[in-house]
Structure formats: C-alpha cells, structure tokens
Amino acid sequence: MARIVGEVMTVDVVEAHPETSFKDVVRLLDRHRISGLPVVDDDDKVVGVISETDLIHRQTAQPTGTGARRFRMLPLGRAARRADALARAGTAAELMSTPAITVHPEQRIADAARVMERRGVERLPVVDEEDRLIGIATRRDLLRVFLRTDDEIRQEVHAEVMPRALGLPAHGVAVSVRDGMVTLEGAVQHRSDIPLAIRLTYRVDGVVGVVNGLTFRVDDTRPSEKPPAPGPRHD
C-alpha cells in the first residue's frame, strides 16, 4: 500500500517560539545542521516556519548608506514593507513566514511531495487533528520512498493493483521492474482497464515510470451500435 507521511517524518523536531531571538534561531540551525524550523506557540500549535532564506532576506534587507534612507522615505509597497520588517526583525515571530503549510501524518507521501513542489518549500511540519506539532517531513524524508527495491515495487503491483483494483488474477499481467521503471505486459479484459492499470501503478511508492505493453480482449470504449429503427409498416 502507498506509504504515508507518518512513516517517514522526523519525530524529534527542532523548534522555535515566537519570542526566540534572531541569534538564537541562527544558533539552532547551525547546531543541528538544519536549514529551517517551525515556530510553535505555548500550545504546540504551528504559527509559522523559518528557513535560511528568511534569515538571508533579513540580512540583505539591512539599510546601507544615504540611498537607503532616501528610499525609506518613499511609500512602501507590500514587498518593500516585508523587506523593511525583516530588516528590523529581532525575533522568530518577526522572521517567520506565515501561514505555515502543514500536513497530517496519514497523508500519502506523494501528496505531500506535490504540496512541497507547488508551494516551493523544503519542509512540512506534521500536525495532529488539533494542529499540534508532532513531527516534520523534509524533502529528503519524502525521497526515501524511491529507495524501495524493484522487487518490493513489483510485489506491491502484483498484490495491490492487479487483483484489488482491477479484479485480475495476481499473475494475470506480467510485471517487471528495473530501477523503478515498471513494465506491464499481458491482456486485460476491457480496453478501459489499461489507463486505470497505468494510473494505479504510478501511485505505487517508488515507481518512476510505467511502460505499457498491455492488450485488451473487449473494446468497451466504443459506443455499441444500435439496431436500425424499424421503417414504416405497410399493411
């Protein structure tokens, strides 16, 4: 079955609180050799996330010279206001990005990876049903699914996709896997089963691609021909 975030997340989470100072945040990142951390309130609920990027932006936002003073006299747009706030940030609450993008432990790893890619983040705090922090999932954690062996992938496709999803005998379709690339060969009953088999195989953790060698016995994608309507009767 597809693996979930709770299986790969890091439980021992390095965290900051809103009042944690800028220097202490830097020390935490350096001491634990991490590139970001969640910020939690007194109830362990995630209120934001700080990354190395936030810290770098804070440093580059520092005003220098007279030109900066003239610039600060101009009306500030949203991005400029954020840069100005970062330049003066002294605590985690002022540094962090909000709202925090979180996931739940029962979510599929593939879905969490899509969230990371879509939102451009490197880590996702994992929260329980009350939004309290219970772990963190990084890109490295999620990539562990691709360390599955070819035999593990093949067995799951045989055991889960073919009999349970398609109703086919476990060995009705030949499945071979090489470096995460799955090849499906054999005959399925209906033509519409082929795209379903491919889609479900892609959902198996560790699969990087699917080569389709399937054929079909019945083409159920074409509308059945209706008999011609009876002509007028001539009694």
Judge if the upstream peptide bond of residue 99 is cis by omega within 30 degrees of 0: yes
Whether 21 and 42 map to the same domain: the answer is yes
Is residue 197 a part of any domain in this protein?
yes
User: Which residues touch 52 (CB under 8 Å, ≥6 apart)?
Assistant: 29, 35, 36
CATH code, 190: 3.30.1340.30
Does residue 120 fall inside a structural domain?
yes
The pLDDT score that the predictor gives to residue 20 is 95
Helices (H), the chain: 5-8, 22-32, 52-60, 65-72, 78-87, 92-95, 109-119, 139-143, 150-156, 193-202
Same domain? 110 vs 154: no
Q: Looking at the structure, do residues 159 and 127 belong to the same domain, yes or no? A: no
Please say which residue of 145, 169, 199 terminates a domain. 145
Q: 94 with 208, same domain?
A: no
DSSP 3-state of 1: coil
Where does a domain end: 113, 145, 177? Answer: 145
Question: What is the reported pLDDT for 232?
Answer: 61
Do 140 and 152 lie in a common domain?
Answer: no
- Looking at the structure, do residues 154 and 136 belong to the same domain, yes or no? no
Domain termination site, one of 117, 145, 173? 145
pLDDT of the residue at 229? 59
CA dist 39 → 26, 56, 136, 156 (Å): 13, 18, 12, 38
Number of neighbours of residue 139 by Cβ within 10 angstroms: 14
Domain range spanning residue 199?
148-218
Per-residue pLDDT of the chain (235 residues; tens, 9 = 90+): 568 899 999 999 999 999 999 889 999 999 999 999 999 999 999 999 998 887 876 666 555 554 444 445 455 455 555 455 544 568 999 889 889 999 999 998 888 988 998 888 889 999 999 999 999 999 888 888 778 899 999 999 988 888 876 777 766 789 999 999 999 998 888 899 899 999 999 888 888 899 999 999 899 888 765 555 565 665 5
Verify that 162 and 67 share a domain, yes or no: no
Domain count across the chain: 2
Do 48 and 141 fall into the same domain? Answer: yes
**Does one domain contain both 37 and 92?**
yes
Residue 191 tokens read as 């033509």
Distance, in Å, from the CA atom of 59 to the CA atom of 87, rounded to the nearest integer, reads 7
State how far the Cα of 145 lies from the Cα of 206, in Å rounded to an integer. 5
